[in-house]
Amino acid sequence: MYPLEDGCFAPRNQWYVAAWLSEISRTPKERMILDEPVILYRTQADEIVALAGLCPHRGFPLASGKLIGDDIECPYHGLRFGPDGACTLIPSQDTIPAACRLRSYPVAARWQWLWIWMGDPALADETLIPDHVEAKLVDTDFRNAGGNYYLVPGRYVLLHDNLLDLNHVPFLHRDSFGGDGGGAIQVPEVTVHENIVTCSFSQPNIACPPFLSELLGYDGPVARQYISYFYAPCMHVIWDSISKLDPETGKAEPLGALLHIHAVTPATKNTAHYFQGEGQDFSHTEPCLAEVFRSSELVSKALDEDVSATRLIEQSIAACHGRIPEILLKADKAAVLGRRILQAMIRAEDGGQSHRLEPADAMPAA
């Protein structure tokens, strides 16, 4: 499906962010992931469980079920399932059919989020989770905070396109933080190493955005240098170094660095989970940037602009029966390379055959 090859949706044998750890409690939470309903909850020993979200008896959604100890009880006829997915009780009979069980998914907690493996559990190698030390997510020099979540009404690749295309900042965000972006951002340098797309670009002389002035205690001209890392297929981390510019000499003096943290997980074929956080290596006082992001109307407006652009493009795709025309520009290089990695990951899994949509869902060819 657009912008991937017809019939291709998302790689399954990969780790994805399923939730913020703070979202998971003793009350089961349902989340659609790669078009499958999943329930997440904590055991009494505080371990996180991820199970298929539909009861195998009659398909009742288990998110409304009750936890009895560490088992989940289906509200319809009382079947119970343990944290490993095995059925532990059928109130109306003594025997438990072998097929009466829930699929359980491997999970791993890293930093503030829960990663899930939706593919073959035998291949769930935790060393494939992006390196959180290298990405600075667990770097104590940075004050990182997550917690922002959006269910985006658009397919996940559109959000990756958006995050890999920072040229939209001075335009789409003209009325929020990109208003004085100094015009188009310089054409980025892009490199690919394994499943990581790295892209660097700069804004050599712009007015300090107001939300940063507050944090930095400075509102003069600044230079910003960005290095963006896309850890396909899910995580983006953008290092954003800010320097104070001396208007006389043009000399730059470092003020600090920000970390813009994003994870994108396919929910259904045309919706995506968007997890967003922020970090900073300065001003370890209140409020931190993530709190500013949560409370600032300006910044939430900016994030809404990205969500809304994704929604509008998704609507265009629907209006064009599944595939929109596009002319890719030089500045789209990072997004194109990101798409290629996703496509290659899908192809590597059974040649993509296990990910092909049902004929009724398949998009018409361009």
Residues in contact with Fe ion by CB under 5 A are 306
In the chain, beta strands by DSSP E:
15-20, 29-33, 36-42, 48-52, 66-68, 71-73, 80-81, 87-89, 107-110, 113-117, 143-152, 189-193, 196-207, 221-231, 235-245, 252-268, 271-280
Q: How far is CA 197 from the centre of its chain?
A: 15
**Helix, strand, or coil (residue 126):** helix
Contact map string, positions 48 to 77, toward ligand FES, x by CB under 6 A: -------x-xx-x-------------x-xx
Q: Among residues 66 and 174, whose Cβ is nearest to ligand FES?
A: 66
Instruction: State in angstroms the smallest separation of the CB of 264 from Fe ion.
Output: 13
Q: Among residues 55 and 309, whose Cβ is nearest to ligand FES?
A: 55
Q: Which two tokens stand for residue 289?
A: 């940037």
Q: Which does 111 bind (CB under 5 to 8 A by kind): ligand FES, Fe ion, none?
A: none
Q: Among residues 283 and 300, whose Cβ is nearest to Fe ion?
A: 300
Instruction: State in angstroms the smallest separation of the CB of 76 from ligand FES.
Output: 4
d(CA 273, CA 153): 9
Q: Among residues 3 and 65, whose Cβ is nearest to ligand FES?
A: 65
Instruction: State in angstroms the smallest separation of the CB of 103 from ligand FES.
Output: 15
- Which residue's CB comes closest to Fe ion? 306
Contact map string, positions 310 to 339, toward ligand FES, x by CB under 6 A: ------------------------------
Count the Cβ atoms, other than its own, within 10 Å of residue 257: 20
d(CA 295, CA 2): 35
Q: Which does 149 bind (CB under 5 to 8 A by kind): ligand FES, Fe ion, none?
A: none
Amino acid at 248: E
Sign of CA dihedral 311, 312, 318, 322: negative
Residues in region 248-307 near ligand FES by CB under 6 A: none
Residues in region 77-136 near ligand FES by CB under 6 A: 77, 79
Tracing tokens 């309903």 back to the chain, one arrives at: 37
Greatest Cα pair distance, the chain, in angstroms, is 85
Q: Which does 306 bind (CB under 5 to 8 A by kind): Fe ion, ligand FES, none?
A: Fe ion
Residues that bind ligand FES (CB under 6 A): 55, 57-58, 60, 74, 76-77, 79
